[in-house]
Chains A and B, each alone.
Chain A
């Protein structure tokens, strides 16, 4: 257990180093930050001074090392555009993102898991056909289209929900549905396939041959095995949502990390972009680590060594 954790943590650190290094280099290649910060009529000397003040005249590797050193202490740099610390900006937006991500995620699981099981048990029925068709459409329809359609119908036409913004429960419904639908479509299809595979497994036949009740065969012998691939996929979905539902947050003017990132890119707020990317990557790595730990609980074949 301990060795497994150490190894996974080491891998996580390597992943984060690679991500941070790549964004750092790419960010520096897209243009001179000094040109962005300094007023247009600034003199060469003033710009040079600013460069020196910000430490941008040092070799790239030195700049990167000090960035990582600061990041480890929770300091992700300073956004000149917003005149605020990057970590403060992210932390400020994090609650909104987490709220949306978890609402959408839970909504997606609540739809996908029971529905996937139901249509697997009633495969080739009308329900199966309907649900798989809708899931197929849901999976192929882009987020911005679903979001806009929901706004057009519920906010503009029926006028029962707000168009966008952040506030009470009514504000989260449409964006949560938007992010949940795609995720639910993917998970439903996977749940169905996984359940069908398990229902055909030899050990399910064995369970039936012992005269166990149908519900025991289903919930004890089939369900847990069928959940194994779902856990991986659900972990990835959640990580993606926390890392930033960029499009959905932008459509619904949801003040989360995703929208922060989009604005940062527009304004070429390089330290902020870098901070958000690092944050998203960390979320990904941490959730994957949790998924691995969860595996140990469901699948005894997974050994922690």
Chain B
């Protein structure tokens, strides 16, 4: 087996906010092989975005404390790294596409400038070389008249165009790992499909590993072979997507699937998950989902379940999974 591009073991992230401590991520372990595409799903506050930001240490470390037994990016342990060394990995090794392209692009710099600065920094290109490369990248992401667009500012483009620019920027250095954090959530439904197809196509062309972060399970069904479900700052299920959809093992995954919009199910038949997500400022001593779970028993309220294999490449953190011994 080749060395993993990303190897996370027991990642924890805590924010201190006005005397309170918010435990956003409470022990996440995840390994990603080169070229592998994984979907990370969870509701807002599940810690999925924070966990993924930690991969390149993009969080404000004045507020966030990141700890992990291991946090290796392409073989480099990034937790002990100095900013200087980290900067060399950001871009060529790991790159990001963020949710809102308007706020994620700098309003006062031209699109060309924002795409080419990574190339100049990491590849040592000259101004003109980098600009030509930026035009070529804009063409690749399907932007018409790229030689005009390259001199424009982000506000002059539509939402879909902006996200294409963002993608061009993230892919400029052909990263080994791309993390797309809700890349289509802020876009019109009509352009969402185009953007998803574009990212998929480029992922296959470059052969890069990729993590899709989203709250939309239906989207992941189309893009990821493997899906990781997060709840309360932990991974509760990790499974091949075919298996996750046909035989979810965690009651929370089941709940997510039941509450997901589907064309063949009327709104009334969708069942929301009762209750609210756990309070991230409290320590955990039990299964975080237990208060909302119909299957919960005493052990669920007193012990923290570990993420264990349950066959077929599927892992679940549950004392009473929906398959195996429980079914």
B window 107-122: CB within 8 A of A: 107-109, 114, 117-118, 121-122
A225-B106, A301-B107 given as contacts; is B153 within 8 A of A211 (CB)?
no
Which of B90, B103, B106 contacts A211, CB < 8 Å?
B90
Q: Find out whether the CB atom of B118 lies under 8 angstroms from the CB atom of A210.
A: yes
User: Complex Cα distance A301/B121, Å?
Assistant: 27
Q: Find out whether the CB atom of A212 lies under 8 angstroms from the CB atom of B118.
A: yes
Interface residue range, chain B: 20 to 34
User: Complex Cα distance A23/B117, Å?
Assistant: 55
- Asked if B104 CB lies within 8 Å of chain A CBs, one says yes
Q: Find out whether the CB atom of B107 lies under 8 angstroms from the CB atom of A211.
A: no
Which of B95, B96, B107, B153 contacts A225, CB < 8 Å?
B107
Q: Find out whether the CB atom of B96 lies under 8 angstroms from the CB atom of A214.
A: no
When distances are taken between beta carbons in the complex, the residues of chain A under 8 Å from B107 are 203, 225, 299-301
- Asked if B87 CB lies within 8 Å of chain A CBs, one says yes
A window 218-252: CB within 8 A of B: 220-221, 224-225
Q: Find out whether the CB atom of B92 lies under 8 angstroms from the CB atom of A211.
A: yes
B window 82-111: CB within 8 A of A: 83, 86-92, 95-96, 98, 100, 103-109
What is the chain B residue whose CB lies nearest that of A208? B58
- Asked if A60 CB lies within 8 Å of chain B CBs, one says no
A202-B98, A216-B117 given as contacts; is B106 within 8 A of A210 (CB)?
no
- Asked if A137 CB lies within 8 Å of chain B CBs, one says no
User: Complex Cα distance A301/B117, Å?
Assistant: 21
User: Complex Cα distance A77/B59, Å?
Assistant: 65
- Asked if A213 CB lies within 8 Å of chain B CBs, one says yes
Q: Count contacts between A and B, CB distance < 8 Å.
A: 79
When distances are taken between beta carbons in the complex, the residues of chain B under 8 Å from A206 are 96, 98, 104-106, 114, 166, 169
Which of B91, B108, B153 contacts A210, CB < 8 Å?
B91
- Shortest CB-to-CB span from A224 to chain B, Å, is 5
- Asked if A207 CB lies within 8 Å of chain B CBs, one says yes
Which of A203, A211, A216, A301 contacts B88, CB < 8 Å?
A211
- Asked if A205 CB lies within 8 Å of chain B CBs, one says yes
- Asked if A298 CB lies within 8 Å of chain B CBs, one says yes
Q: Find out whether the CB atom of B108 lies under 8 angstroms from the CB atom of A208.
A: no
- Asked if B56 CB lies within 8 Å of chain A CBs, one says yes
When distances are taken between beta carbons in the complex, the residues of chain B under 8 Å from A124 are 62
- Asked if B155 CB lies within 8 Å of chain A CBs, one says yes
User: Complex Cα distance A224/B107, Å?
Assistant: 10
Q: Find out whether the CB atom of B98 lies under 8 angstroms from the CB atom of A208.
A: no
Q: Find out whether the CB atom of B153 lies under 8 angstroms from the CB atom of A301.
A: yes
Chain A interface residues (CB < 8 Å from chain B): 123-124, 200-203, 205-214, 216, 220-221, 224-225, 298-301
Chain B interface residues (CB < 8 Å from chain A): 56, 58, 60, 62, 83, 86-92, 95-96, 98, 100, 103-109, 114, 117-118, 121-122, 153, 155, 166, 169-170
Give me 10 other A-B pairs in contact (C-beta within 8 A), A200-B60, A211-B122 excluded: A210-B95, A211-B92, A213-B87, A214-B83, A214-B87, A220-B117, A225-B106, A225-B108, A301-B107, A301-B153
